[in-house]
Structure 1
Amino acid sequence: MPSPTHRRLTPILAALVLAGCGAPYQPLPGRPHHGPEGYRNLYDTGHPERFAFLRWQWQRHTGPVPVHHPERIPRVSADLAAIHAPHGPDALTWIGHASMLLRLDDRQLLIDPVFSTRASPVSWAGPERQVPLPLATAELPHIDGVLISHNHYDHLDRATIKALVRQPGGAPAFVVPLGLRAWLVEAGVPAERVQEIDWWERTSLAGLSVTATPAQHWSKRSLWGDTNRTLWAGFAIRGSRHSLWYSGDTGYAAGLFADIGRRIGVVDMALIPVGAYAPRWFMKAQHVNPDEAVRIFREVGARRAIGVHWGTFLLTDEPIEQPMADLAAARQGHGVSVADFSLMAIGETRPLP
Structure 2
Amino acid sequence: MAQSQKDSPLINKDHHDGNGFRNPWASFTDQGFINTVKAIGGMRLSNVVKQAREEDFPEKVDVDWELLRNNTTDKDGKVVVTWLGHACALVQINGYNVLFDPIFSCRCSPVQFAGPKRYTETPCDFEDLPTIDAVVISHNHYDHLDLGTIQLLAKKNSNTRFFVPLGNKDCPRWFMSNIHCSPEDAVRIHEDVRSKHSIGIHWGTFALTDEPVEEPPKLLKLALEKRGHSNDDFNVLKLGESYVVNSA
TM-score, reference length from structure 1: 0.60
Which residue of 98, 101, 108 corresponds with 2:87? 98
Distance 1:65 1:145, change over 3 A: closer
One-letter amino acid of the structure 1 residue matched with residue 105 of structure 2? S
Match of 1:87 in 2: 73
Which residue of 104, 129, 149 corresponds with 1:115? 104
1:90/1:106 contact within 8 Å kept = no
Match of 1:296 in 2: 189
Match of 1:158 in 2: 147
Match of 2:163 in 1: 175
Coordinate RMSD, CA, aligned: 2.2
One-letter amino acid of the structure 2 residue matched with residue 68 of structure 1? A
1:38 equivalenced with 2:20 (yes/no): yes
Secondary structure of 1:351's match? Answer: strand
2:197/2:233 contact within 8 Å kept = yes
Task: Give 1:34 shift.
Answer: 2.1
1:135 equivalenced with 2:119 (yes/no): no
* Whole-angstrom distance in 2 between the partners of 1:58 and 1:123: 22
Secondary structure of 1:121's match? Answer: coil
Aligned residues: 229
Segments of structure 2 that go 5 or more residues without pairing to the other structure are 1-9
* Whole-angstrom distance in 2 between the partners of 1:95 and 1:303: 22
Task: Give 1:179 shift.
Answer: 4.4
One-letter amino acid of the structure 2 residue matched with residue 151 of structure 1? N
* Whole-angstrom distance in 2 between the partners of 1:285 and 1:137: 33
Distance 1:292 1:71, change over 3 A: same
2:134/2:162 contact within 8 Å kept = yes
* Whole-angstrom distance in 2 between the partners of 1:290 and 1:156: 22
* Whole-angstrom distance in 2 between the partners of 1:294 and 1:36: 33
Greater RCO (Cα-Cα under 8 Å, separation 6 or more): 2
Task: Give 1:65 shift.
Answer: 4.6
Secondary structure of 1:68's match? Answer: coil
Matching of residues 175-324 of structure 1 within 5 Å:
175-179=163-167, 219-220=169-170, 279-324=172-217
Match of 1:187 in 2: none
* Whole-angstrom distance in 2 between the partners of 1:101 and 1:157: 16
Task: Give 1:38 shift.
Answer: 2.9
* Whole-angstrom distance in 1 between the partners of 2:131 and 2:12: 40
Secondary structure of 1:177's match? Answer: coil
> Higher strand share goes to which structure?
1
One-letter amino acid of the structure 2 residue matched with residue 350 of structure 1? Y
